[in-house]
Structure 1
Amino acid sequence: MTGGPVDAGQERLRRWRLVLGGDTADGTGCALRGRDAAVDRALAALYGKEDGARTGRDRSAGLGSSAPSVARWLGDIRTYFPSPVVRVVQRDAIDRLGLGALLTEPEMLEAVEADVHLVGTLLSLHKAMPETVKETARAVVRKVVEELEQRLAARTRAALTGALDRSARVSRPRHHDIDWNRTIAANLKHYLPEHRTVVPERLVGYGRASRSVRKEVVLCVDQSGSMASSVVYASVFGAVLASMRSIGTRFVVFDTAVADLTEQLDDPVDVLFGTRLGGGTDINRALAYCQSRISRPAETVVVLISDLHEGGIRDEMLERVAAMKAAGVQFVALLALSDDGAPAYDREHASALAALGAPAFACTPDLFPEVMAAAIEKRPLPVPDRTGGT
């Protein structure tokens, strides 16, 4: 009969511990573990310093000044709290952490050095922004996106056009389809000096432009808070791929729900503002949607961009990947698409994908065109860091 009151008492202590922030003077004697400890850290990052100033205690807290830290924290609070609470906490963050100066003064946004991390932060906060600032924030995002397109678009189109051309060539062409320059180059070892000629043992032909060689690319992008930079780069590459007539492109973002943003790919800024950074992760559900949209597996490349922290059904996720690969789909798993360095990721899931023949690795934006070209040509991927293979 004592279980109920004791449990209720422990629950009250736990709640007081979360409210008080927990140091030797909180008086609860309650230690937090697991999710409760993570929630406490998220709350301390926002409320800890002010509490310390008011009470004389110095709680170690704060988000620092980096945009990646803020973006990760925003993703955390969406995971731990319901939407109404998240909106309150975001407004507090804007007021308490100095973000208000950044987000409520258009001049500040216009003067700041805009980069991918700032874009991720603005996208995370844009629903909490004052209406007077949203257009300025959108202009900042567009500036960064346009700079990324200038840097990446030409190289991507060149790499993929070459890959498509090579994958479409035929080895037994008709006479008028022979590519004589490449045929000679491929047969130089058969040069006969006495006859001053090359004997072409292998003919290389031009591929015929037809619907049968059109490639399909599905970008399946995790929009959890830690993936903010990857979402920005993925939207830019999605728009570039969609501009190529020889490639059919689908752009899917997911957390615990799935959103198909393919119709917005003509403007990557619209894609970005259609995302919802933060929250949980259900890779299995996202892959189920992508799998249902594949009509020509042998001509399809699926690129999963995720840190693989799966909140859905793990075994089903792996079964879907195995089924897609067995059907002929080229499957690429990128733990990050960014310049941020080594990402945090689920090593168990990465190793499981590697065992299926889908190594999971981080990829810089500059390497992405080469990765896609290799996938289209069905040759080994240029894996810079075999993160998922060890």
Structure 2
Amino acid sequence: MTVAIDETHDPARTSWVASAQGHPDFPIQNLPLGVFSNGNGAPRGGIAIGDFILDLAALARSGLLDGAALQAAEAASGDTLNPLLALGTAPRRALRRSVSALLARDRPHRDAVAPMLHPAHTCALHLPARVGDYTDFYVGIHHATNVGLLFRPDNPLLPNYKHVPIGYHGRASSVRVSGTPVLRPHGQLKAPDAVAPTLAATRRLDYELELGVWIGTGNLPGSAIPIEEAGEYVAGLSLLNDWSARDVQAWEYQPLGPFLAKNFLTTVSPWIVTAEALAPFRIAQPPRPEGDPAPLPYLLDAGDQAQGALAITLEVTISSERMRAEGRAPLRLSRGPASNMYWTIAQMVAHHSVNGCDLNPGDLLGTGTISGPTRDTFGSLLELSRGGVEPVTLPTGETRAFLEDGDLLSMSGRMETEGLVSIGFGPCTGTVEPARKS
């Protein structure tokens, strides 16, 4: 995997967009891609810069771009980024470099570009791409171990975990953008001492802290993506929350895995932080513990091991309805590094395609829950409450073993490396609403 560092990452570069300076997520070094609308305008592609969104449809018509950058802006002018993602790395990078130059301080085109900026608070954000397929992996080894300990104390990790990136196909139709309400779902529930299951609203609603991986160019059916090339197929990342009904899951997941427990809603943050923006934050994949099996050759690449992980800090907060009414700040549930992944993103892509499965522009991969080794880094309430027996206490004195109606759950992520400007994803949020009558 080639990591390209260029002038767009220069920490000395600032923007004439004043709010970009010191912005926690969207300084000029980020320039993430998304889809927005404002007023009566149709949804179209945009780039976040500070507290504003740059209109790519307007930029494509402006005459300020040419070549591959113009091609990319035109591809992003519609209501989905799929055409842009399909173009691959070179046009996307050309667009990034051109936009960075146009927004940089002391550049001559400020007066021409300024009318193309829209205050973000006046805009609606949409799903950045049409998701044709969604696959959820299970690469967070601490989460897999913690959950395994709840159900199999003597053998928490199944024998295949350290040999193969485990995953399952999720429901693409229920992937929604941040802020979409979380309707408490129904499903079959069966208590351990019950004779038969019943249909009811879940009593164990949970979140899962994940990264979302957006596929750019795809592969042909029957072809496999070599691991050393897998990075070229990844357009960028977002935050992802794979909401889970744990009581439904416990009853239904054997023998075929999750179904209704997870297909009701998956939330993603609206901005795709591009592979180009992430380049300076690549770090070595943590070494496997001594005695662990080496990956099969199709999953092992020296370059990926050297730069396949990312310096991302992930955080989850909760705010109950009562906390908000009393003006209390959200409570942080967990905070930890995204490097707590046993398999890299490139390994996920290579494995997904090794049997000839074709990935397509706009496909979405979830990493699976990313947890750390200590309680303050756990990525789900199932782990934090140890299956519900040790509830979390909120500042109001309320307790949470699992999510209650009115709870606002928020995820954030920041890319940080010494000497560079930090960038972020923007929020990934959802508020739990009561179940509808079944």
The structure that has the greater radius of gyration is 1
TM-score (norm 1): 0.23
User: Which structure has greater helix proportion?
Assistant: 1
Relative contact order higher in (CA < 8 Å, ≥ 6 apart): 2
